[in-house]
Chain A
Amino acid sequence: MTGLDPLPLSGRQPRAVRSALAVLEEVVAAGPGVTAKEISAALKLPQATTYRLLNLLVGEEYLVRLPDLRGFALGRRAARLALPVVTTPPTAARAVVEHLRGLVRWGVHLASFTTGQVALVDPDPDHPPAEPTLIARYPHASALGKLLLADQPDWRAVSRDLRRFTEHTVVDAVALDRQLTAVAATGLARQCGELRPDRGCLAVPVRGPGTGALVAGLALAGPPDRVAEPNEELVALLREHAERLSPLLA
């Protein structure tokens, strides 16, 4: 691997880097579906150069080729070039979460999934979660993360590093796959001491009305042995509040 070696820019390379960035900008400006010919014409770049740059950017997953193989769009990796925009939930939504906090003695957290990651947008001030960055990076070990993974067409593409945090962390891909199938079927995710031995969590999805798209997750955090119980009344309460959040967040 030469990743750490100093990489001198020489000859025509600075121009190539500038052109590659210009191609990225042009795809954003023109919108998904723009073709190689259109990009080449817009940037006044030679066609062969444009095609080579496009293939390079597709190879590195900054761009994707759309199914017709002609058009381009921004790839998932391009999301890393900008800070994810996490919007504060509207006051009405926060009021619903606050209402639930008044009914239970557990920590109540609201997370947004619109950035493709678990982003805690309304963590419980009285029971602050200790590891928001870990939850975002290792979704397999948290209940909110499991909701996100269960909604993916292929969770393996999103979560590659199944890190072990405690003896309860599910790190076997097959076992996790089975668990996520159950989460998708029941709409309830549960973890008992998988991220921290002394903390467990129950989470239910908040889906957009009509579309059914996953937009957020509502979670209850408490002692792992209590989380492991059926908790039917708590779950019903959680689902009821998730239902009320749906028109406010989608």
Chain B
Amino acid sequence: MTGYLLRRAGQAVVVLAGVSVLVFSLIHLVRGDPIRLALGTRFSQETYDALRERSGLDLPLVQQYFTWAGRAVTGDLGVSFRSGDTVTSLIGERLPATLTLAVAALVVALVIALPLGMLSALHPRSLVDRVATVVSQFGISVPDFWLSIMLILLFAGVLGWLPSGGYVPIGEDPLGWLERLVLPAVATGVVSGSVITRFVRSSMLEALGSDHVRTAQAKGVPTRQVLTWHVLRNALLPLVTVTGVQLAYLLSGVVVVEIVFSWPGLGQLAYQAVRDRDFPVLQGAVLLFALVFLVINLLVDLLYGRIDPRIARR
């Protein structure tokens, strides 16, 4: 088990190094000069050169990469071109908001997906199943932008039940925190929930049709026991993967939802960084997203091993 873990961690480091090279070169290959963007439309050549030199953008690209990568290893991701803040502090400031939203959205997703997916698997082609199919189809295909606006118009506008957006830390105002969390969590969770619903349904169906379930039923094991011990355990396996992937996706910031609801998370930060060509921030954010994916994948694999010991032994 330890060897397996070490091997996987080693792989993760290699992947991360690869990602860093890729991110760095891609960002710098994209057209758009951050200095020109920062200075606006009116400036003198002297001002331009001075700022370029201060930002280190006048150095050769390879040198820029190694300076950046060398510092990144020690946890120093550089300084934002635009605000002058360190990238780690910017990310640190945004992380709690995104973490909160991601977890809340996942809760919403599972609350939708588990009962809906199970019910439709147990009663295929019933009314419940058909409604679930339509709802999940809707959830997958509806643009999150549109859904977010509709939620704002209905719950903040017409009904006036909830604020239209923003964020307050839970320590400051727990009720306000919850009120502001609901709509973005729902907007994000509906999409993930729809994806997960389908997986729950299909993996449940698959498990229901498998030989050992039929054997158990033939042996006269009570239905409830068959469902929990034989079906759910097997159906959980793919669900862990899908949920893991969804969480990683949510954590990397659901950009659109964060922007519509003025949710000060990583997605918003990354979006602004792309727009402003704020290379250090963008590189830091992408590196963090990659890290999140790798770690979550690793965790999913470990969890997999717990649920199905055959996998860890391989």
A, B: real partners: no
Q: Hey, which bits of chain A sit against chain B, CB under 8 A?
A: none
Q: Hey, which bits of chain B sit against chain A, CB under 8 A?
A: none
